[in-house]
C-alpha cells in the first residue's frame, strides 16, 4: 500500500512555532478569528507555504488555500486542512494541529512525487478555514459554510463581534479580506483533529476513524422588556427580560435530563443590556444549543424548546428566535473512512470508529464533497481549555496517517471521488 514519510522533527518544530501566536500564561491560546494574533498566525502559514513552493490565495471571507499542481493544472485536487482560530481561553491543538498536519502531509506527498514513489492523478493542497470556532463571530464553521454555499458571503462578512466590529472590517485590518476565487475543482477533503473526548484514550486506540457527526441545533433567543430602576420601580410594573431567559436556561437543561443525558444541551453565553446592577434588564440574548446523534429525538427537543420560547414571549416580555446553526446527523464518505482505517492498519496503529459530537469544517464540507476525519487522542478528553493536550507520539501518528491517506487519494482518479 502507498506510504510516504513525514518530517517528524520539522512537524514538531512548526507546532511549537505556531503555538506562540496568541499564547497565554496558562499555556493555552487566545487567538480568536480575525484578531491580530490570528493575523500573525496566518502570516506564518503563508510564509511556510510560499517557502515550500506553494502559492497562497485568499477568498472573500478570508479562507486561505495553498495548492500544489503535482498531476496537471486541470486535475482535481485533494484537500487537507482545518483552522487556526481558537477559543478565547482555548488550547494549542484544536484546529492548529490539523493545519500543521495538513502542511506536513502535503509536503510528504510532494517528496513522494519528486522521488518517484507516487504517480499522482490528482493535485493536492491545504486550506485554513475562517472562524471555525464562532467565539468572536457567530455562527461557527463560517468559512467552510461559505465555501459550500450554505452561508452567503455577505451574511458572514456582516457578522459582528461583541464590540460591534464586522468580520469584514476585522479581516481587512489583518490583511486577509481576499478577492481570490475559492478553488472549485476539489475531489475530496480530509481533516485531522484532536478528539476532544475520551473514547480513544480509554479504549487504547491511536487513530479515530470518524464515522459521522451528531446533529447540532443552535438558537439565538432575544427577550425584550423595559429598563427600569431596581430600587423605586414596583415589582408588578417590572418587565424584566432576564426572568424568561433564566427560565429558558433551566428548561434547556431539563430537556437533556429527561433523556438521561443522551441529548446534550447547553446555554453558554448571555448578552444582557444594559447589564447594570441597578437596572432591570431591558434586553437579553440567550445562546442555546441542542446536540444528539438520534435525528428524531433531536427534532422533538427542538419542537419543545421552540414552544417554550413562544410561551415565554407571550407576557410582558417579547421573544424572537434565530437558528444560526441547523446541522443534521450525517455520515462521512465511506471510501474515505475505509481508507483512513487501512492506512492506520498499515502503520500498525490501533484504530476505532466513532462519531464526532463537536462540529468541524469537515462536517460542512461533507455536505457537497467526499469528506473524512481522523481523530487523535485528547489527554483526559480536555479541550477548549489551556490544559488541552495530545502527546507527541499521538500527534506524529496522526499526521503520518493523514499523509498516507492523502498519498493514496492523489493516486486515485476513480469517478466516485469527484465533487458531488
pLDDT tens column, 56-98: 999 999 999 999 999 999 999 999 999 999 999 999 999 999 9
Task: State how far the alpha carbon of 347 is from the alpha carbons of 4, 382, 395, 401, in Å.
Answer: 11, 27, 14, 8
Q: What is residue 213's predicted lDDT score, i.e. its pLDDT?
A: 96
- What's the chain's average pLDDT? 96
Length of the chain: 420
C-alpha dist (Å) from residue 19 to 37, 83, 95, 129, 193: 10, 13, 11, 17, 16
Alpha helix (H) ranges present in 175-277?
A: 199-203, 242-257
| DSSP string for residues in 151-197 | S-HHHHHH-B-TTS-BHHHHHHHHT----PPPP--EEEEEEEEE-SS
What pLDDT score was predicted for residue 2? 79
| pLDDT tier for residue 414 given thresholds of 50, 70 and 90 | low
Phi, psi of 181 (to 5 degrees): -70, 145
* Cβ atoms 85, 31 nearer than 8 A: yes
The string of pLDDT tens digits covering residues 310-360 is 999 998 999 999 998 898 999 999 999 999 999 999 999 999 999 999 999
* Rounded average pLDDT over 365-391: 97
Q: State the Cα–Cα distance between residues 208 and 198, nearest whole angstrom.
A: 11
Nearest CA-CA partner of 401 in 204, 192, 194, 103: 192
Nearest to 308 by CA among 388, 223, 392: 223
Average pLDDT of the segment spanning 97-117: 97
255-303 pLDDT, tens digit per residue, is 999 999 999 999 999 999 999 999 999 999 999 999 999 999 999 999 9
pLDDT at position 1 is 64
Q: Can you give the pTM of this predicted structure? A: 0.88
204: left (phi over 0), alpha (psi -120 to 50) or beta: left
Specify the residue for cell string 495553498.
Answer: 66
CATH class of 8-214+329-417: alpha beta
Rounded CA-CA distance 317/380 in Å is 43
Confidence check: pLDDT of 53 > 60: yes
pLDDT value for 420: 39
Q: Which three cell numbers stand for residue 115?
A: 522521488
Which of 293, 279, 298, 186 lies closest to 231 in space, CA to CA?
279
Is residue 419 pLDDT above 50, yes or no? no
Q: Which fold has domain 216-327?
A: Alpha-Beta Plaits (3.30.70)
Q: Could you tell me what percentage of the chain is helix, strand and coil, using 3-state DSSP and rounding each to the nearest 5?
A: 35, 25, 40
Name residues whose C-beta falls within 8 Å of residue 140's C-beta, 6 or more positions apart in sequence: 131, 132, 133, 134, 325, 359
pLDDT number for residue 418 = 42
Report the percentage of the chain scoring pLDDT > 70.
Answer: 98
> In CATH terms, are 8-214+329-417 and 216-327 the same topology?
no
pLDDT for 184: 87
Residue 149 has pLDDT above 60, yes or no: yes
- 357-379: b (≥16 Cβ within 10 Å) or e: bbbbbbbbbbbebbbbbbbbbbb
The domain ranges of the chain are: 8-214+329-417, 216-327
Per-residue burial over 289-299, b = 16 or more CB atoms within 10 Å of its CB, e = otherwise = bbbbbeeebbe
Amino acid at each position: 500500500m502507498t506510504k510516504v514519510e513525514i518530517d517528524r522533527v520539522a512537524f514538531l518544530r512548526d507546532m511549537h512555532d505556531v503555538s506562540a501566536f496568541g499564547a497565554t500564561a496558562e499555556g493555552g491560546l487566545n487567538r480568536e478569528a480575525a484578531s491580530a494574533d490570528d493575523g500573525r498566525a496566518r502570516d506564518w502559514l503563508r510564509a511556510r507555504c510560499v517557502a515550500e513552493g506553494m502559492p497562497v490565495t485568499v477568498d472573500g471571507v478570508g479562507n486561505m488555500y495553498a495548492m500544489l499542481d503535482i498531476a496537471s493544472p486541470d486535475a482535481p485536487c485533494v484537500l487537507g486542512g482545518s483552522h487556526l482560530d481558537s477559543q478565547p481561553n482555548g488550547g494549542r491543538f484544536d484546529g492548529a494541529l490539523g493545519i500543521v498536519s495538513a502542511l506536513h502531509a502535503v509536503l510528504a506527498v510532494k517528496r513522494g512525487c519528486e522521488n518517484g514513489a507516487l504517480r499522482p492523478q490528482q493535485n493536492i493542497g491545504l486550506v485554513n478555514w475562517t472562524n471555525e470556532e464562532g467565539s468572536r463571530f457567530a455562527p461557527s464553521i463560517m468559512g467552510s459554510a461559505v465555501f459550500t454555499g450554505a452561508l452567503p458571503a455577505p451574511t458572514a462578512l456582516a457578522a459582528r463581534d461583541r464590540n460591534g466590529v464586522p468580520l469584514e472590517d476585522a479581516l481587512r485590518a489583518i490583511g486577509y479580506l481576499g478577492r481570490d476565487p475559492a478553488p472549485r475543482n476539489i475531489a475530496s477533503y480530509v481533516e485531522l483533529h484532536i478528539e476532544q473526548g475520551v473514547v480513544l484514550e480509554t479504549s487504547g486506540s491511536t487513530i479515530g476513524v470518524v464515522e459521522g457527526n451528531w446533529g447540532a441545533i443552535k438558537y439565538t433567543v432575544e427577550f425584550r422588556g423595559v429598563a427600569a430602576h431596581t430600587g423605586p420601580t414596583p415589582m408588578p410594573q417590572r418587565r424584566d427580560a432576564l426572568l424568561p431567559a433564566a427560565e429558558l436556561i433551566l428548561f434547556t437543561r431539563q430537556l437533556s435530563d429527561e433523556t438521561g443525558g443522551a441529548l446534550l444541551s447547553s446555554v453558554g453565553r448571555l448578552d444582557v443590556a444594559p447589564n447594570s446592577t441597578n437596572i432591570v434588564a431591558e434586553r437579553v440574548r440567550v445562546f442555546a444549543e441542542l446536540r444528539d446523534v438520534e435525528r428524531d429525538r433531536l427534532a422533538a427537543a427542538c419542537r419543545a424548546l421552540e414552544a417554550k420560547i413562544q410561551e415565554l414571549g407571550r407576557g410582558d416580555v417579547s421573544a424572537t428566535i434565530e437558528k444560526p446553526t441547523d446541522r443534521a446527523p450525517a455520515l462521512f464518505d465511506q471510501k474515505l473512512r475505509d481508507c483512513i482505517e487501512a492506512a492506520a492498519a498499515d502503520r500498525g496503529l490501533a484504530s476505532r470508529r466513532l462519531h464526532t459530537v463537536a462540529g468541524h469544517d469537515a462536517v460542512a464540507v461533507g455536505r457537497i464533497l467526499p469528506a473524512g476525519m481522523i481523530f487523535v487522542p485528547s489527554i483526559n478528553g480536555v479541550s477548549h481549555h489551556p490544559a488541552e493536550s495530545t502527546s507527541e507520539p499521538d500527534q506524529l501518528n496522526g499526521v503520518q496517517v493523514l499523509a498516507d491517506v492523502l498519498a493514496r487519494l492523489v493516486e486515485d482518479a476513480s469517478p466516485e471521488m469527484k465533487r458531488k
